[in-house]
Amino acid sequence: MSGKSITHKPTLLILSLLLLISVPVPQIAHAQSGFSSRNKQEDKRLTELLKEGRKLVDAGNYPGAIAIYQQAAELDNRNARIFSGIGYLQARQGNFLEAVNSYQQAIALDPKNADFYYALGYSLASMNRNEEAILAYQGATRLNPRHVNAYLGLGVVLARLDRYGEAANAYKRVTAIEPRNAKAFELMGAMLIQQDRPREAIEPLKQALRLSPRSGTAYITLGAAWLSLGNLAEGLAAFQQASRLEPRNATIYLQMGKIWKAKGRTEDALKAYQRAASLQPSLAEAQLAQGDIYVEKKDYIGAIISYRQYVSLQSSDPDGYYKLGDALKQRDRKREAIDAFKQAKQLYEKQGKSDKVREVEKILQDLD
């Protein structure tokens, strides 16, 4: 039975969905010693470093692995795979600017490697540098016309820019290469919801689930389509199935939180964000989102805790420090608030946001 009509904001809802239903993360290209160094001792050291780096990657110690690979790059600065490995590790930690720089170095050394272009596109898209991402994805498809993941990434970025016809062509290219590619149908459905065509989205999403019946993200997108049609019961059922299939997938709960927040169901959104943050404390977006809800509820202690966690994860985001400062101010923790606002001001200055700098300066004057 269809529930009551729910206000729908397709762009707000689906732009976040397209981040969740993103393309596959680039894989690491483990580097091998590819040169005879000036002496055997250097060559031996390089081999040892690459082995040590690989062990650290396998152990999940990405910062340690980056440090090792950087040492290796000093010994072999013509080895593209070393730079691509650094790019992969930076991307896995969310350091996309550093990843972009590393992948660009890899491409400069090996300009015919389609996977490097794909990884560059992925990193640029993660920073919303969409036009540049398009060029990188197109570079991958030129070098490898059957690079399915590059077409998927291209479709996602084109859809973000409302270039729906081109995005649809990219997804169709995927299904021509791989007729049973569930992700292509899933992204087609998401794009149709973004175009405020949720009824048309149902069939491709069901096709995605026929091909990949255990895809939690496909159920989330299907739930979004049902909610957009005002069918709360079907939407909830799809969300519940997503959480049953992937009960420890933090991004599913993050997305559920976004959807509930867009629909005005604040308590449900908070529970979803809390679940996401408990499953993956490093998920910065969940920490920020639950902090915002705590502020709405005037629970400033909860907001302070969440915002502190957020800025520890995203130390270059001035908005996080601004929000932390405001929550501290509400609790009359003046000295801590001043420190947070000063940090926000410094970061706004670096970004050239003069209006925000003046706003923070006024707040600091009032606090002194």
Give 68-121 pLDDT, tens digit per residue. 989 988 888 888 989 999 999 998 888 889 999 999 999 999 999 999 999 999
Give 270-306 pLDDT, tens digit per residue. 999 999 999 998 889 999 999 999 999 999 999 999 9
Give 325-368 pLDDT, tens digit per residue. 999 999 999 999 999 999 999 999 998 999 999 999 999 999 98
Q: Which range among 56-60, 75-79, 224-228, 308-312 has the greatest average pLDDT?
A: 308-312
Last residue within a domain, chosen from 79, 111, 143: 111
Last residue within a domain, chosen from 89, 111, 133: 111
**Domain assignment present for 327:** yes
**Domain assignment present for 66:** yes
Give 205-222 pLDDT, tens digit per residue. 999 999 999 999 899 899
**Domain assignment present for 117:** no
**Domain assignment present for 162:** no
In this predicted structure, the answer to whether residue 238 has a pLDDT above a threshold of 50 is yes
- Residues spanned by the domain of 322: 281-368
Burial of residue 355 (CB within 10 Å: 0-12, 13-18, 19+) is: exposed
**Domain assignment present for 140:** no
Last residue within a domain, chosen from 111, 143, 163: 111
**Domain assignment present for 183:** no
- Number of structural domains (the chain) is 2
Q: What is the CATH number of the domain that holds 329?
A: 1.25.40.10
Give 28-63 pLDDT, tens digit per residue. 665 555 554 556 677 788 888 888 888 888 888 989
**Domain assignment present for 186:** no
Give 179-192 pLDDT, tens digit per residue. 999 999 999 999 99
For residue 206, give both structure tokens.
């069901």
**Domain assignment present for 8:** no
